[in-house]
Amino acid sequence: MKRGLAALPAARLDGQRALVRVDFNVPLKDGVVGDDTRLRAAIPTIRYLHEKGARVVLLSHLGRPKGGPDPQFSLKPVVRPLELLLGMPVAFIGEPLSEAAVTFTRRMPRGSVALAENTRFAPGEEENDPTLARGFAALGDLFVNDAFGAAHRAHASTEAIAHLLKPAVAGFLMERELCYLGSALEQPKRPFLAVLGGAKVSGKIDLIEHLLPRVDAILIGGAMACTFFKAMGLGVGRSLVEDDRVELAGRLLEKAGDKLVLPRGCVIAPELREGITSLTVRREKVPAGFAVYDIDPGTAGDYAERIVVAGTVLWNGPMGVFEVPPFDSGTRMIASAMAEATTHGAVTVVGGGDSAAAVARFGVADQVTHVSTGGGASLEFLEGKVLPGVAALDDA
C-alpha cells in the first residue's frame, strides 16, 4: 500500500507548494483538446489541494516531442479547458527549469494553480535523469503522483523525482486505479470473469497467463480469437491472425482447459467496410475470402448471461471492430451486460484505451465501477508487473 494524499495532515498542505504529476497526455487537433477525459480525471486531486490552501503546480508530458521544445506538443492549449473544469484561473509556466519559474511558484497565492510546460521538452526526462528531476523538484515542497497512465515508465518526472521530493504520495486518481486494478482483483467477489479481446494475442499473453490462476473463466473475443481458432485447426479465412503465436495459443488452450472460453460463432464479411452486408456463421464455417470482424449474437448472449451474474468482471479489449458498424454489436452487448452487472452489485472494471473508448461510445462509462485511464499502464499492472512510478512513492 502506498501513502495517499488524504493521509497528509492539513499543515503539510496549507501554503505548501504541491508539485503534482498528472497525465494530461490528451489528443490535440489543431491546438484544441479533443477529449478531456484525462483532465477531468485529475480534478478531484487538484480541487482537494486547492481547498487545503496548497499552491498547486502541475507537471505532465504530452505526445512524443523529439529531443526538445516543439510548439506542436505544448501544454498551453490545455490551460483554458482546465480553467473551465476547475472554475478558476490556471497560470502557465513556460520554462519550468528556470530560476524565474521557481520564484514564481514561491509567490503563487495559496490555493492557486499553475501548469508547467511539457516535461518531455527537457532532455533527460525519458532517461530518468536525476539532475533533471532535481530541477523539477525545485518547483515543489511535496510530490503528488496522479499520473497513473504514465506510471509504467521510469521517467524523471514520475520516478526519480519521487526519491528527491518528500513526502511523495499517491493522488486520488492513482489510488482509485490501484484499488480497482489491484486489490479488487486480488480479492475478487466471485465468480470472477475476465473478458479479453482486441486485435492481437501477442500483447495480451502475459495478461492471460497472469489471470488464468486467478479467474473463474476468461471469455475471449476480438481478432485474438482467430489465433486460437487456428490453433484448434479451424479455417479463419482472411481474418487477422498472428501466425507466429498459433503454437503458443495452442499451449494456452491446453493449459487453461475449460477456463478459456472461445466464441462459438462469428460475424464475417469479405472486407471491412461500414454498412457492408455481413454473415453470421459457426466458427467451423468461416470460408476462404472472408474475415471475422465480431463475435456472433449467440456468443455475445452467452457471455452477457455470465457477466450479469458475476461478482467481478475485468474487461480488456473489444469483441470486434466496434468502430465500424455492423461489427459493433458484440462489443455493445458486452458493454450493456457490464452496466447491468454493476446494478446487481458486481465490481466491473474496464482497462485498455480502445475498450474505454468503446464503453464511452456506448454510453455506459459511468455505469461501470471503474474505467481505467491508463492504457499501457493498466495492462502492465494487470500483468502483475511493478510500475516504477508507483513503487517510488512513500509506503503507507
Residues involved in catalysis: 38, 200, 353, 376
Chosen from Mg ion, ligand ADP, none, partner binding at 4 (C-beta under 5 to 8 Å by type): none
Rounded to the nearest whole angstrom, what is the least distance from the CB of residue 174 to ligand ADP in the complex? 20
Q: Decide whether 129 or 383 has the Cβ nearer to ligand ADP.
A: 383
- Give contact residues for ligand ADP (rule: CB under 6 A): 197-199, 203, 222-223, 240, 292-293, 316-318, 320-321, 323, 352-355, 375
CA distance 100 to 107: 11
Find out whether 350 and 112 touch, Cβ atoms under 8 Å.
no
Pick from 383, 387, 218, 200: which is nearest to 315 by CA?
218
CA distance 176 to 202: 28
SS (H, E, C) 309-337: CCCEEEEECCCCCCCCCCCCHHHHHHHHH
Chosen from Mg ion, ligand ADP, none, partner binding at 171 (C-beta under 5 to 8 Å by type): none
Q: Decide whether 325 or 353 has the Cβ nearer to Mg ion.
A: 353
Pairing of strands 192-196, 312-316: parallel
For residue 279, what are the β-bridge partners? Answer: 268
**How many residues make contact with Mg ion (CB under 5 A)?**
2
Rounded to the nearest whole angstrom, what is the least distance from the CB of residue 289 to ligand ADP in the complex? 15
Chosen from Mg ion, ligand ADP, none, partner binding at 318 (C-beta under 5 to 8 Å by type): ligand ADP
Find out whether 318 and 331 touch, Cβ atoms under 8 Å.
yes
Set of cell numbers at residue 1: 500500500
Q: Does 203 bind Mg ion (CB under 5 A)?
A: no
Chosen from Mg ion, ligand ADP, none, partner binding at 270 (C-beta under 5 to 8 Å by type): none
Q: Decide whether 48 or 315 has the Cβ nearer to ligand ADP.
A: 315
Q: Decide whether 130 or 375 has the Cβ nearer to Mg ion.
A: 375
One-letter amino acid for residue 278 of the chain: S
Q: Quick one: which H or E segment has residue 17?
A: strand 17-21
Rounded to the nearest whole angstrom, what is the least distance from the CB of residue 380 to Mg ion in the complex? 13
Q: Three-class SS of residue 148?
A: helix
For residue 331, what are the β-bridge partners? Answer: none
One-letter amino acid for residue 155 of the chain: H
Q: Decide whether 190 or 385 has the Cβ nearer to ligand ADP.
A: 385
Contact positions with Mg ion (CB under 5 A) in 314-373: 353-354
Chosen from Mg ion, ligand ADP, none, partner binding at 316 (C-beta under 5 to 8 Å by type): ligand ADP
Rounded to the nearest whole angstrom, what is the least distance from the CB of residue 90 to ligand ADP in the complex? 30
Rounded to the nearest whole angstrom, what is the least distance from the CB of residue 278 to Mg ion in the complex? 23
CA distance 160 to 125: 10
Which residues lie near Mg ion (CB under 5 A)? 353-354
